[in-house]
Amino acid sequence: MKLTTLVNARATARYLFIFLFALILVNAIGQKASFNVHNISLPEEIAYGENQFSSLYIHAGKLFLMSESRLQEKAEAKLYAIKLSDLHSKLADTNVALPYQKFHIYHLNKLQDKINFVNQYYEGLEALVIDGDNVYFSVETNTPSSNGYLLRGKLNDTAVVMDTSFLVTLRKPVRSDGSQIRNAGFEAITKRGKHVFAFYEFNYFPIANYVYRINTSAGAKNKKPGLLPIKQLPFRITDITESGKDHFTAINLFNNDYAGDTIYRTRTEDLGNTKRVKDSAGYHNYVSLVTIKFTGKNFTWETLWEFPPEYLRYNWEGIAAYDNGFFIMNDKYSPHTPYMSTLLYLQK
């Protein structure tokens, strides 16, 4: 073989190896996360559907589960907590008991009265953040109400005692004709430093979409919340959890089973996202986890993981990052009746 031919052959082989290695690397980077799904059987009291859990949060070695506390339906205002060590034991052996603790929420009814007094009608708690002994809740109001709210209470060993002087108004964004988004509220909150970020459920307005930033430091409770842009995001955001420095993970959900939820369908020209929720048979349910990044000035996002078909007809409303995975919980709605709450652990 001539020397030039040998050199050219070796060069071709080297370039081919580099190309294939780069292709493998790109594919590996482009792949979405993969999780093993573990269904954690719950005690009867917690699995009871009318708890309607709407948020999860990990604090002090416990997983806190927030009931919507629908006072207008005579529901008890409460949180539950399960030790992470007990959840470890349950994951290792599904037959072991799962102890839990209940925390009553005191004086929530007084805040409900304040909200209703100004013709903004309380429907329930939607999201939860715990910061030391401070507990923050977002409140969903009925569709005609123009405001949502952020509340604060104090967590002790047995209960949460609400601060009836802390009631921050969160103006709901509206469509161009001034109409409200049906059945939408501030479904997700998270905390960074002295600020709470409140995410509206609907972030698919054609012009601009915003996250509220509320200063919770002493003396700042009555300041007007600031607005930070978020990249247009289809479908619903139903809960969020911190999953890294300036990184958060949220549940992104489209439920075609709900009548009147056509507002959550994507626009015709949005082909990429439309393919997620529509095929030749029509619209169908869709659930994913999305990674949301805070740049300091705005929020961007990308899809992390899409739920398997068997979990698409649950109304997932709670998420908490733990040990490189996530706890996920529905309110009560699922493919089966009687409706019950289901807790999953997504293990990476």
Full DSSP string of 62-77: EEEEEE---GGGTPPP
- Whether residue 91 is contained in a domain is answered as yes
For residue 90, what pLDDT is reported?
97
Considering the domain boundaries, does residue 313 fall inside one?
yes
The predicted pLDDT at position 261 comes to 81
Select from 343, 344, 347 the least CA-distant residue to 324.
Answer: 347
Q: The CATH number of the domain where 327 resides is what?
A: 2.115.10
Distances 225 to 174, 196, 210, 236, 339 between C-alpha atoms, Å: 17, 10, 11, 22, 37
Mean local confidence (pLDDT), 162-171: 96
Count how many domains the chain has: 1
165 inside domain: yes
DSSP symbol at 293:
E
Q: Is residue 23 part of a domain?
A: no
| pLDDT per residue as tens digits for the range 67-84 | 999 999 999 999 999 999
Q: Mind listing the pLDDT tens digit for each residue in 251-279?
A: 999 999 876 789 999 998 999 999 999 99
- Per-residue pLDDT band for 19 (boundaries 50, 70, 90) equals very low
Q: Minimum mean pLDDT among 17-31, 77-91, 316-330: which range?
A: 17-31
Asked if residue 122 belongs to a domain, the reply is yes
Q: How confident is the model at residue 22 (pLDDT cuts 50, 70, 90)?
A: very low
Residue 18 covered by a domain = no
CB 241 within 8 A of CB 248: yes
- 2 belongs to a structural domain: no
Give domain status of residue 108, yes or no: yes
| Banded pLDDT at 27 (limits 50, 70, 90) | very low
Give the closest residue to 255 by CA, choosing from 275, 274, 236.
236
**Domain of residue 234, residue span:** 33-347
What average pLDDT does this structure show over 186-214? 96
